[in-house]
A and B are shown apart, each in its own frame.
Chain A
Amino acid sequence: MSKLKEFTTQAARPLPVVVLSDVSGSMGVDGKIQSLNLAMREMIDAFKDESDLRAEIHVSVITFGGKAGVHLPMGRASEASWSDLGANGGTPMGAAFELARTLVEDRNTVPGRAYRPTLVLVSDGQPTDEWKLHLDALLKSERGGKAFRMALAIGPDADHAVLREFLADPEARVYRADEAREIRKFFQLVTMSVSARSRSANPNVAAPAVDPNSGWDL
């Protein structure tokens, strides 16, 4: 065993993934919350199966429905235990942005040696709280602004303008899920994106775009 072990950390470099998920009352219809639960479970299971990575994938899930909260605290995906979400209440997206900013900026939760996080926003409606200030704070924060961001609009009532502001990149696109089953496909895309990055020579650089030819509007 290397003597150098005495001078090094024994934790792998984390690659954090933070999902901000809408669980407002409207997510409870048309099978959306069921599809979201299935997609989240599959994503975490896929991360658990990953091997030969440069980074260790860590996952956290922030929910906003009635109130915002941390459903799954940041930790190794390999040790994550998923419990299904329910749907209820309004859409306090601003509070979720604030929670995400706090989480990403916390050096104990996301250490300095971590790779750039991926923030994923999923929503089927319009924010019901003051969101703009909190989104600005997230995007202007030292670390939140450098995160990779992906967004999914579920159904016709999703606020695409807010999701575009979250992406803050004119070349990035808001993905659409017109049917509940398409939520799974989006999270498969997230999974592929994160996995590709964690295997790449430099996980801080965006992985090549995944082939969107999956039969739906990506």
Chain B
Amino acid sequence: MVRVVASSVRGPAHAKEGLPCQDAWLVVASPQANLAVVCDGMGSRPRSREGALAATLAVRDAWRLWQRSPVGMVEDLIRIVEAGWRLRLGQVAPEEASTTCLFYAEDGHGRATLAQLGDGLIARRAADGSVSVHPTRTEGFGLTHALGTPHTMADWSFGLVAPLAPQERLLLATDGVSEDLEAGRIGDLASWVADELGPLQHPARVLARELRNWSVPHHQDDKTLLVMWKP
């Protein structure tokens, strides 16, 4: 079974305005297949908290269906995510609930996919210490695609990958975290979460405390960090 440590915390901007955290994350860990999702509701949209929560659930819904086929296309998984997200929003207008969407999904048939719409970070640290960062389609200067904003399949960055191997670490983060990370320390961060926080009794609480004590000047964003690993 994989292990996971994840936390979302409200950034100073939302704390000051009395607004809740607009990030969301979801994990399903099982012997057959694993799923990790991180979503960042766009701060400028009034219902983005609901949008982020709906997106995590939509990915879970779509993933359950996608697992039924050993040859399911990632594009189909994404199409179901998009439709499921809109359905889960119900009466909420999608453009008022815009959110990024990043996920790692295993299909239980020896395959996995990484997919990303919008900014944030997906990275893997292999057992040998090498780090691979999933490429993004963001437009630079933080201009981001999102569910609920005009986009196409081409704006998703996705691909099939090998499922997590023993000793490998997967890291997903919203841009409140990823924009401030030193590029050369991403693998070390994943290892620190797995090795130092993982054994603690309440690792998520400790991680949340660390995220609240973010030390980068002028930081304002909500922050979500999720690390999944296979011992």
Contact = CB atoms under 8 A, between A and B. Distances in A.
Decide whether A and B assemble into one complex. yes
Interface residues of B, number: 29
B140 A112 contact: yes
From DSSP, what is the main secondary structure of chain B's interface residues?
loop
Interface in B101-152: 139-143
A8 interface: yes
Contacts of B179: 13, 113
A10 B142 contact: no
Interface in A25-77: 53-56
A143 B141 CA distance: 8
Interface stretch (B56-64, B73-81, B84-92, B207-215): B207-215
From DSSP, what is the main secondary structure of chain A's interface residues?
loop
Contact of B142 (A11, A116, A142): A116
A209 interface: no
Given A4-B213, A8-B181, A202-B42, A13 B218 contact: yes
B84 to A, nearest CB: 26
Contacts of A81: none
Contact of B141 (A2, A4, A11, A204): A204
Contact of B213 (A2, A11, A113): A2
Query: Which has the most chain A C-beta neighbours within 10 Å: B139, B141, B142, B213?
Result: B141
B140 A142 contact: yes
Interface in B23-54: 42-44
Interface in A95-151: 112-117, 142-143, 146
Interface of B: 13, 42-44, 139-143, 179-182, 185-186, 188-189, 192, 196, 210-211, 213-220
Interface of A: 1-13, 53-56, 112-117, 142-143, 146, 201-205
